[in-house]
């Protein structure tokens, strides 16, 4: 018989045992012909093929499909947690150590402390606690426990407070699928020379008679969530490439100043991702004031990562051209890249919809973490924080 989740008072977040399972049969979206039996645990073991994947370049589509069909539970206080296993190889292990301070000891302690904080936070009712999810925040914040907990709290808060942006991230939604099919935003299959995930957005590929700011935000967040559990992207980060050559006043007018402020806040404080660069291509002079306002909302660190290119050739000359779509001087047509990304969306569809069930009491957040996490850390209530070995 499967183990039942224990109460918060009885739960020992540092205990790592074989989790109980409650089998649910998840019927995956079309084009994936076989249903899979997913164990309802926090972190199902990765398939053998995923362990053997290379740490650079694109991942074969069949391996992507195999590793992204798991559905993780949203129980904030599960009976046990599946131990984490490193799968990325020695090269990325060194990158994680040098850039994020990450090693096995720090990682294991940090995961245990975040899980204990979640279990002791009465305002967090439902939340993923599997390693891939928590490592999004730990790697973004370079394993600072207070900052990681604060970002997780902010993430849950903005998701719940802005359902028009964050919920129903469903590739089967006709409006959302039309934006992806049109080529407005697509992650490139191949990574750049630093191992980063490159995401291309093209303003001219939008049908402005069929979109709103909320729908565009949902398309961006769909891409982010599909990619967020990929560990190489967590370690190496992302590069955003935005083709603004056809940015029009009509498109700019879709976004209110409130929307822009909200988006900037989410990017910096609520969405766990290591953004290493914003490449803006062909920005028209009419958008200069808007750009100035947007930049003013960013931190100094992100401002320094904005690069402006007058032409596509200028941009392509700074990139490895072969990873770009054929339309930008590469090899693979954008339509093929879109088709591959949509397969990833379908593979993760059940997981993305399940995350709509995560819940936080908005009356106690944000800010609850700032008052409780630091106090608990100072009082020694969360694990062995003072025993952390840091550089």
Q: Are residues 225 and 144 in the same domain?
A: no
Q: Return all residues near 272 (Cβ < 8 A) that are at least 6 apart.
A: 136, 137, 139, 140, 141, 151, 152, 155, 228
Q: Is residue 109 part of a domain?
A: yes
Q: Is the dihedral of CA 107, 110, 114, 120 positive or negative?
A: positive
The per-residue pLDDT for range 114-156, each reduced to its tens digit, is 999 999 999 999 999 999 999 999 999 999 999 999 999 999 9
pLDDT for position 290: 87
- Determine the length of the chain: 391
Q: Are residues 216 and 292 in the same domain?
A: yes
Is the pLDDT assigned to residue 390 strictly greater than 60?
A: no
Is the pLDDT assigned to residue 333 strictly greater than 60?
A: yes
Q: Is residue 79 part of a domain?
A: no
Q: Is residue 6 part of a domain?
A: no
Q: Are residues 160 and 173 in the same domain?
A: no
Q: Are residues 342 and 304 in the same domain?
A: yes
Domain assignment of residue 196, given as a range: 168-352
Residue 9's pLDDT band, with cuts at 50, 70 and 90, is very low
Q: Is residue 80 part of a domain?
A: no
Q: Are residues 158 and 181 in the same domain?
A: no
Q: Are residues 178 and 205 in the same domain?
A: yes
Hey, is 280 helix, strand or coil? strand
Q: What is the pairing mode between strands 275-281 and 238-243?
A: parallel
Partners of 202 in the β-ladder: 243
Q: Are residues 210 and 157 in the same domain?
A: no
Q: Are residues 218 and 137 in the same domain?
A: no
pLDDT for position 288: 87
Residue 35's pLDDT band, with cuts at 50, 70 and 90, is very low
Q: What is the pairing mode between strands 275-281 and 306-309?
A: parallel
Q: Is residue 335 part of a domain?
A: yes
Q: Are residues 239 and 338 in the same domain?
A: yes
Number of domains in the chain: 2
Contact (Cβ atoms closer than 8 angstroms) between residue 26 and residue 36: yes
What is the separation of C-alpha 353 from the centre of its chain, rounded to a whole number of angstroms? 15
Contact (Cβ atoms closer than 8 angstroms) between residue 197 and residue 191: yes
Q: Is residue 204 part of a domain?
A: yes
Q: Cα(124)–Cα(197) distance, rounded to whole angstroms?
A: 31
The per-residue pLDDT for range 189-214, each reduced to its tens digit, is 999 999 999 999 999 999 999 999 99
Q: Are residues 139 and 239 in the same domain?
A: no
The per-residue pLDDT for range 223-233, each reduced to its tens digit, is 999 999 999 99
Q: Are residues 228 and 213 in the same domain?
A: yes
Hey, is 222 helix, strand or coil? helix
CATH code of the domain containing 175? 3.40.525.10
Q: Is residue 391 part of a domain?
A: no
Q: Are residues 94 and 186 in the same domain?
A: no
Q: Cα(131)–Cα(107) distance, rounded to whole angstroms?
A: 10
Residue 86's pLDDT band, with cuts at 50, 70 and 90, is very high
Q: Where are the alpha helices (DSSP H) in the chain?
A: 48-51, 61-67, 90-100, 104-119, 131-140, 145-161, 163-166, 174-181, 213-227, 231-236, 249-252, 257-265, 288-296, 300-303, 312-317, 334-347, 349-354, 368-379
Q: Cα(220)–Cα(166) distance, rounded to whole angstroms?
A: 10
CATH code of the domain containing 371? 1.10.8
pTM of the predicted protein model: 0.78
Q: Cα(179)–Cα(265) distance, rounded to whole angstroms?
A: 24
State what percent of residues in the chain have pLDDT above 90: 68
């Amino acid at each position: 018989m499967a183990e039942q989740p224990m109460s918060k008072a009885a739960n020992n977040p540092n205990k790592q045992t074989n989790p109980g399972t409650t089998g649910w049969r998840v019927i995956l979206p079309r084009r994936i012909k076989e249903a899979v039996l997913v164990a309802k645990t926090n972190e199902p073991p990765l398939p053998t093929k995923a362990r053997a994947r290379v740490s650079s370049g694109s991942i074969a589509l069949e391996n992507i499909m195999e590793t992204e069909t798991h559905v993780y539970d949203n129980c904030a206080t599960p009976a046990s947690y599946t131990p984490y296993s490193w799968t990325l190889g020695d090269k990325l292990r060194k990158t994680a150590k040098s850039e994020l301070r990450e090693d096995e000891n720090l990682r294991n302690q940090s995961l245990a402390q975040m899980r204990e904080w979640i279990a002791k936070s009465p305002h967090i009712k439902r939340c993923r606690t599997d390693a891939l999810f928590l490592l999004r925040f730990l790697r973004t914040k370079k394993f600072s426990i207070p900052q990681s907990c604060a970002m997780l709290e902010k993430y849950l808060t903005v998701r719940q407070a802005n359902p028009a942006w964050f919920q129903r991230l469903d590739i089967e939604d006709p409006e959302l699928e039309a934006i992806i099919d049109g080529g407005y935003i697509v992650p490139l299959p191949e990574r750049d020379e630093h191992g980063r995930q490159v995401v291309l957005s093209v303003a001219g590929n939008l049908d402005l008679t069929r979109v709103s700011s909320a729908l565009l935000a949902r398309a961006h967040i769909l891409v982010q969530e599909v990619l967020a559990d990929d560990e190489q992207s967590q370690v190496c980060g992302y590069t955003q490439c935005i083709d603004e050559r056809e940015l029009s006043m009509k498109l700019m007018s879709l976004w209110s100043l409130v929307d822009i402020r909200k988006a900037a806040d989410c990017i910096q404080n609520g969405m766990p991702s290591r953004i290493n660069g914003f490449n803006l291509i062909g920005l028209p002079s009419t958008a200069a004031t808007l750009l100035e306002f947007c930049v003013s909302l960013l931190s100094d660190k992100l401002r320094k990562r904005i690069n402006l290119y007058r032409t596509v050739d200028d941009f392509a000359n700074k990139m490895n051209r072969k990873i770009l779509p054929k339309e930008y001087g590469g090899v693979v047509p954008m339509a093929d890249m879109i088709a591959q990304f949509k397969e990833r969306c379908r593979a993760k569809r059940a997981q993305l919809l399940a995350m709509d069930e995560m819940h936080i009491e908005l009356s106690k957040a944000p800010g609850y973490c700032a008052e409780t996490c630091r106090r608990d850390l100072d009082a020694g209530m969360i694990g062995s924080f003072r025993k952390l070995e840091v550089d």
